[in-house]
Amino acid sequence: MKADILKLIRYITSLATEREEVLSPIRLVKFLYLADLYHARRNGGVTLTGWPWRFVHYGPFCRESLDAIKMAVAEGLIEAIPYVSQFDDEEHLLYRCSVDKQSGRMPDVPFYVTGPLQGAVRKWAVDTFALLDHVYFETEPMTDVHPGDLLDFSKAREPRPSKDISMKKLSKEKIARGKELVSKITAKQSRFQPESFWIGRERPIYDEAYFEAVNYLNESPLDFSIQGEARIEDSVTEFE
């Protein structure tokens, strides 16, 4: 068992624990599947774990994921909390990460895996049905498969933006209103922060973008355009 996989299990569990949530086995398994998916999207279909995921048990599943979770519990990386379900008399387990185990919890895996995982846990840590719906209907390896099939991660592709984002031009009335609001804010700041206010204090540093914005409102609109691409992830913005 790769040590980093056990750290990944601790990382996922700790993300839920920070939100004061616990993870059921099915949710923890699906988050491990998503970690493999996020890795495969950037590495030509190569997964992080190398496990043979199949279409069983409410979507992606492999026995190796349960074995890894048990090992993480045995090594004290996460805690297993027993409970009895209202639907049967069997003992079930929920998983959490103790506070002392959360320090230095980041696994040695790329940000393009841990970043989306943060967003996934934020969305679905307590929503099993929405998580199952996502992995079943919205992940590439699950397309065109039948129960029992081995999942093909070479299908993994980065999701494309749903539509182009266009910027609206401000009307003269809105620009005038903006000028008025900026003037009021500046006047109020000057009234409550006179020159003597800054003695012994650091003045705020205004960059070029700030002055361009002020000029845009105080004069005629500037003749410039914005070009490039923006990449929006579930959790943390990444720039390339």
Q: Which residues contact 87 (CB under 8 A, 6 or more apart)?
A: none
Q: Copy the structure tokens of residue 82.
A: 């027993």
Per-residue pLDDT in tens (0 to 9) along the chain, 240 residues: 565 899 999 999 999 999 999 999 999 999 999 999 999 999 999 999 999 999 997 899 999 999 999 999 999 999 999 988 776 777 889 999 986 655 446 678 899 999 999 999 999 999 999 999 999 999 999 999 999 999 999 999 998 776 666 667 777 787 787 778 777 776 766 665 566 655 666 666 556 666 666 666 555 444 445 555 655 555 443 333
| Crossing angle of the two packed helices 208-218 and 172-192, in degrees rounded to 10 | 120
- The phi and psi torsions of 96 (rounded to 5 degrees) equal -145, 170
Q: Please spell the DSSP secondary structure of 14-67, one letter per residue.
A: HHHHHTT--B-HHHHHHHHHHHHHHHHHHTTT--SS----EE-SSSEE-HHHHH
For the chain, state the CA radius of gyration: 25
pTM of the model: 0.68
Domain ranges of the chain: 3-155, 172-218
Q: Which residues contact 170 (CB under 8 A, 6 or more apart)?
A: 178, 221
Quickly count: other Cβ atoms within 10 Å of residue 61's Cβ. Answer: 19
Cα 10 from chain centroid (whole Å): 16
Picking from 82, 65, 71, the residue whose alpha carbon sits closest to that of residue 30 is 65
